[in-house]
Amino acid sequence: MTVNPIALVTGAGRGIGRVTAIRLSQAGYRVALTARSRRQLSEVASQCPGETLTVPGDITEPGAVEALFATTERQWGTVTALVLNAGAATSAPVTRITDEDWRHQIGVNLTAPFECLRRAVPGMREVGDGRIVAVASMAAKRGEPYIAAYTAAKHGLLGLVRSAAAELAGTGVTVNAVCPGYVDTPMTEASVATIVAKTGKSTIDARRLLAGKQPIGRLIDPDEVADAIMFCVNSPAVTGQGINIDGGAVQS
Ligand SMILES: NC(=O)c1ccc[n+]([C@@H]2O[C@H](COP(=O)([O-])OP(=O)(O)OC[C@H]3O[C@@H](n4cnc5c(N)ncnc54)[C@H](OP(=O)(O)O)[C@@H]3O)[C@@H](O)[C@H]2O)c1
């Protein structure tokens, strides 16, 4: 009997994480799902054809990453596919970013992925097999106004990916990032609402503004990001990359 490999997806309750968890399950992985919302995790688990484990929690809380991995390992064993997707974005002019917001942006978008990677790598090395995919952003490649904290965190995340990939090359463990433009998810709906509130634009115009950030003239579909994540999961020769899924916005 073949044993299904084990994947862990952070931020699996909605958006990109939701679609990715379902795709991994369809591909034969047992999938551990984490986010704060139990209700959303249960809904995603019900859409997965294979075995799932839901581990609700705030990934920025001290001890949360250790508890997440310990629970998954106790239930199933070593995680060999890790998708570092949980993230959050807020916007403010750089001089008005509060200490609290800076700490939160760095915490959820950079420190938590680092802690997960650090926790996952020894087990992956031991079995000589591991795929780590971080969901970064085109904000990992270039700066834009009003999102300095998010941009700093995502640049840091891509640096972590590149350095870890260089260090782990030849061990069977690959580390990559996907760098989406604006994706049609609840996070982007929140950005649309902020634009409406701050500028008085209509919802349609605010959505059109964000769609226009991609040269292809539309938002990215979460499935298109999941395609790139699955490519990294299925590609032992690809490591250290930051793959743009942004309709041509960033050419590097
Ligand atoms: N949407 C975009 O346009 C876009 C573009 C580029 C990159 N990205 C990146 O893609 C990733 C997913 O984005 P998305 O658009 O799918 O966002 P989303 O729809 O808001 O989903 C984010 C997920 O992360 C979880 N999460 C957030 N904070 C968390 C915390 N402290 N602890 C545990 N889980 C947490 C959320 O669940 P709970 O709130 O229930 O915890 C949710 O499941 C993020 O890293 C984001 O930065 C998004």
pLDDT in tens, 243-252: 999 999 999 8
pLDDT of residue 141: 98
Pair (91, 203) in one structural domain: no
Pair (193, 71) in one structural domain: no
| β-pair type (130-135, 81-84) | parallel
Pair (125, 21) in one structural domain: yes
Pair (230, 215) in one structural domain: no
**Domain annotation covers residue 117:** yes
Residue 146 near residue 93, CB atoms below 8 Å: yes
Q: What count of other Cβ atoms lies within 10 Å of the Cβ of residue 148?
A: 19
Please state, in angstroms and rounded to a whole number, the distance separating the CA atoms of residues 57 and 45: 16
11 CA → ligand 1 middle, Å: 6
Q: Tell me which residue has its CA closest to atom 1 in ligand 1.
A: 183
Is the predicted pLDDT of residue 227 greater than 90, yes or no?
Answer: yes
pLDDT in tens, 31-55: 999 999 999 999 999 999 999 999 9
Please state, in angstroms and rounded to a whole number, the distance separating the CA atoms of residues 230 and 218: 22
pLDDT of residue 160: 99
Say yes or no: CB of residue 130 within 6 Å of ligand 1.
no
Report, as residue numbers or ranges, the catalytic residues: 150
Residue 177 near residue 133, CB atoms below 8 Å: yes
Pair (75, 193) in one structural domain: no
**Domain annotation covers residue 85:** yes
Residue 143 near residue 149, CB atoms below 8 Å: no
CA torsion angle 136 220 54 3 (round to 10) = -90
CA separation (Å) from 162 to 50, 119, 205, 240? 32, 17, 37, 5
Mean pLDDT in residue range 220-237: 98
Mean pLDDT in residue range 130-154: 97
pLDDT of residue 117: 99
Is the predicted pLDDT of residue 1 greater than 80, yes or no?
Answer: no
Q: Strand, helix or coil at 78?
A: coil
Please state, in angstroms and rounded to a whole number, the distance separating the CA atoms of residues 208 and 198: 16
Q: What percent of the chain has pLDDT over 90?
A: 98
pLDDT in tens, 58-109: 999 999 999 999 999 999 999 999 999 999 999 999 999 999 999 999 999 9
Please state, in angstroms and rounded to a whole number, the distance separating the CA atoms of residues 114 and 140: 15
Say yes or no: CB of residue 64 within 6 Å of ligand 1.
no
Pair (198, 227) in one structural domain: no
Pair (226, 160) in one structural domain: yes
Q: What percent of the chain has pLDDT over 70?
A: 100
pLDDT of residue 149: 98
84 CA → ligand 1 middle, Å: 10
Domain count, the chain: 2
Average pLDDT, the chain: 98
Please state, in angstroms and rounded to a whole number, the distance separating the CA atoms of residues 30 and 115: 22
**Domain annotation covers residue 186:** yes
pLDDT in tens, 173-182: 999 999 999 9
1 CA → ligand 1 middle, Å: 36
Is the predicted pLDDT of residue 2 greater than 90, yes or no?
Answer: no
Pair (203, 85) in one structural domain: no
Pair (197, 143) in one structural domain: no
Tokens of 240: 């250290």
Pair (110, 142) in one structural domain: yes
**CATH number of residue 166's parent domain:** 3.40.50.720
**Domain annotation covers residue 248:** no
Residue 196's domain comprises 182-219
Pair (112, 173) in one structural domain: yes
Question: What is the CA 16 to chain-centroid distance, rounded?
Answer: 7
Say yes or no: CB of residue 37 within 6 Å of ligand 1.
yes
Instruction: Say which residue the tokens 């809380």 belong to.
Output: 61
pLDDT of residue 195: 94
Tokens of 79: 């995680």
